[in-house]
Every structure is written in structure tokens, then in C-alpha cells.
Structure 1
Amino acid sequence: MNPVKWLMTAILALSLTACASYYPIAVDVAPTVDAKGGVYRGQTLALNSQDSRKNDYVIQIEQNNKAPVVVGASNNLKVQMEQALAQGFSNQGAFVENGAPTQVTLELQDVLARVIRGHISYDVVQQLRMQLILKRDGRTITKQYRRSAQTEFPGRLHPELDKVKDVLNEQLSLMVKDMLSDADVQQFIGGQS
């Protein structure tokens, strides 16, 4: 290959990777738990989770006339959500243990923060969808949970992913709180004989 072609190829490759390399390939996702005690009186439950999302990334950065840049979670989102839910149930007075008669399955269906570039700012549109399936003694209830939020951040350059991660973690934490405070879930778990 002649030197001019080689140089042009190198410049083209560098320019194609420059935009994508600005962003990390993953961010830490860590929902927090806000659950008060006194809901359960030592009832037991088995908790597991599954990830049914179509995509394994949690942030999608959309820019004019460019392919979207996607950013994943550096830790296992399914495990993070399951641990947060287990901690919440424990804080409320339940015991989470394998083989318990009450089985709770957390299913992740959609977790995405879309970053949309504007002229002088960017919007972060968050969409979360999950469900809980509770089973005991041949009875089953399924509860759907959805959260959506939109946040605007000023800035003409690249979006600050720490801010995007923070608003996503906030929505994930609120989702855990929604599940823990659901009266149907509390009645089903608390109604063990």
C-alpha cells in the first residue's frame, strides 16, 4: 500500500473511532433501597430474577447524522436489581431464602436512558419496565411496573454520563420502592399461613 493510501486509511479509522471513544463502554448502575420495617413478620420468600431486555445496554446517545453510541452497565443490572429488592424485603421484615414456599421472580423488560442532543442542551429520556411474578400454593399474581422520566441538562458538547447515570439510578431506585410499597405484593407475601 502506498504511503498516501495508508495515511488516508489511518486518518479515516481514527476519525471514526474518535466520537465513540469519547464515551466509556460502561457505567456503574446501582439502585438504592428505601424501605421501612414493620411490613412483614418473618415471612419467607425465594427471590430470583431474569433479564428479558432486547438490548444489554442502558444508555443510548443519539446525535444528528451519526450512528447512536451505546453504553452498557459495568455491573450485572439483573443482579443489582435483585439484590436491592432482597435488601428491601429484608428491611421490611421478610426472610429471603432458597426453597421458601412463596416464590418471587423479578423480570427486567426494558431499562434505557436515551440521550437526545438539542441545540443548547440535551434531554435524557428514561424508560423502565419490569414485572414481579409471585407464586405460592398454586396461586400466581403478576404485577407490571413502568417508570418514565425526562430530564434536560445544559451543554452544547458531549453529555456528561455521570449525570445520565445518576438520573437512571434514581429511576431504578424509585422502581424498587414502587415494588416494595405495592399493597398487592405486601398482601400476597404477608398472607402466608
Structure 2
Amino acid sequence: MKKLVLAATIVLLAGCASPKQEQINFAPQAATSAAKIVEGKTMSLSSQDVRTAQYVALMDNGRANITPIHTRQNVRIGIENALVQQFSSQGYKVTVNSPNTVKVEIQEALVSVKHTVMENDMAANVVVELTVENSKGKLVKTYTGKATRSGLMSASNDDIETVLNDTVNLVLKEISNDAELVDYMKERF
């Protein structure tokens, strides 16, 4: 029994001594509408993160050392909250029990970083799928945001954070400005 307690203590202390993983802030900004498109229409919104890994960046320093970077905030909740704010600004009332549903699926949110002491290259890719559905029909659309950035010196967490947030914001803006989606929801909800 003493050996078991000693082993558990060693494992716990080793876990405390290990370095913390890198983390960045994830703060997507909703593309709000200046004027309401609809009045009094309800919808329910749900989201799902189907990415294979939960990190949002991979840093490759070229020496067989690839470091994953996570966000401090939950990516799914951040995008869902931004979309709730976005649809609310268009006049939709987001409720729990509505026959009109919008399902958000986050398929990819990743910044690939290759850097050395002298330069860095970043490539961001964000893929979000929206499924708008009710008894009158179903519309499935995929939105993709891509961005690249190069700079001098090695990439900082702030640089990675900016590229990720800017790319997600582009996708949110694309969703907001999608005439087919807006018309579909306006007509069928």
C-alpha cells in the first residue's frame, strides 16, 4: 500500500513540474447587422466541434520539434456565441425550442506555423458548416477562410492569435453577407 501511495505521489508531483502548454486567446467578433432583416422570427442554434484535435496551431521550428498550441477559450462556444450575436442583430430571436434550427459544425480551425529565428510563415485554415433546417426544407453550406502571413523573426503567440482570430472573423463575415443564406432563412423561417 505504501508503494502505491508513493507511486501516486510521484506521478502527481511530476505532473505539477511539467511545463504548461502554450495557449492563446480566442476572441471571434460577430459581424453584426446595422438593420434588422426580420422581425420576431425564432430559431434554435446548436454547435458541434468535429475537429480531430483540439489545438488551434502547430509550431514547427524545423528541428523535428512541433509544438501544439491551444486556446484559453473553447472554440465551439466562441463561434456559437458570435453567431448568436450575429443572428440576433439580424432580428432573429434565438430560443431553445424552435422549429427552425441552425446547426454549426466546426470542421477545421488551424494555423500552421513554420519559423526560424529569422523569419516565420503562417497559414490559417478555418472551415465551418451551417445546416439550416425546418419542416419547409434544409440548406447546408460550408464556409472556408484561408489566410497566410509572413514576417521577420520567429512567430509570437500574439501573431498566431491575430491570424486565427482574423480568419475566423472572415468566415463569420462571409456567413453574415451570404445572400443565399439570408434569403433562405427569411423566406422559410
SS of aligned partner of 2:188: coil
* Residue deviations 1:126-183 (CA, integer Å, cap 9, x gap): 011110001110511100111111011211xx42111110121011111111112211
- SS in structure 2 at match of 1:38: coil
Is 1:25 matched with 2:22? Answer: yes
Whether the 8 Å contact between 1:43 and 1:192 is mirrored in structure 2 is no
Are residues 1:161 and 2:157 paired? Answer: yes
Aligned match of 2:98: 100
User: What is the alpha-carbon root mean square deviation over aligned residues?
Assistant: 1.8
How far apart are the structure 1 equivalents of 2:120 and 2:54? 23
Output the CA distance in 1 between the equivalents of 2:40 and 2:151.
44
SS in 2 for 1:191: helix
Are 1:81 and 2:70 matched, yes or no?
Answer: no
Structure 1 distance, partners of 2:127, 2:92, is 25
Structure 2 unaligned blocks of 5 or more: 1-17
Q: What is the number of equivalent residue pairs in this alignment? A: 171
Percent of paired sites with the same residue: 23
Q: Structure 1 length normalisation: TM-score?
A: 0.83
Task: Determine if contact 1:24/1:71 at 8 Å carries over to the other structure.
Answer: yes
Partners of 1:28 and 1:117 in 2: how far apart? 20
Partner of 1:72: 70
Residue matched to 1:55: 53
Compute the displacement of 1:100 (Å): 1.0
Runs of 4+ in 1 over 4 A off after TM superposition: none
Separation in 2 of the partners of 1:31 and 1:57? 16
Task: Give the conservation status (yes or no) of the 8 Å contact 2:62–2:114.
Answer: no
Moved more, 119-128 or 145-154: 119-128
Aligned to 2:178: 182
